[in-house]
Amino acid sequence: MSEYTMSMTVVEVCQCARLPLDTLVEIVDTGIVEPTGSRPQEWLFDSQMVVVIQKAHRLQRDLETDWNGVALALGLLDELRSVRAENDRLRRLMVIAE
């Protein structure tokens, strides 16, 4: 079964995430998301990137930090999520082994 994802333009992402273009450019320049295309007018974003963009913007606004700090925080949150998932998997294996 294939999974369908929709591509979005810069204008669509800015509207959906309620961001000005310069903020989106900063997010891309920091490497938080990586659209296809070589310049903003050509960029295409996977629709799932909008969630990451919105989360990044909230973190930047709420923590009053720079975009590099936001990128670090997002990376740490992903790592935490991964560690928790592995912990849950190991706990289930321990229950089965008992």
Indicate whether 97 pLDDT > 90. Answer: no
pLDDT in tens, 21-67: 999 999 999 999 999 999 999 999 998 899 999 999 999 999 999 99
For 65, other C-beta atoms within 10 Å of its C-beta total 14
Indicate whether 1 pLDDT > 60. Answer: no
Helices in 6-66 by DSSP H: which ranges?
A: 10-17, 21-30, 49-63
What pLDDT was estimated at residue 61?
Answer: 94
The 3-state DSSP class for residue 93 equals helix
What pLDDT was estimated at residue 91?
Answer: 92
CA dist 41 and 56 (Å) reads 22
Indicate whether 78 pLDDT > 70. Answer: yes
Burial class of residue 41 (count of CB atoms within 10 Å of its CB; 0-12, 13-18, 19+): exposed
Nearest to 43 by CA among 53, 28, 54, 31: 28
Report the percent of the chain where pLDDT is more than 90.
Answer: 86
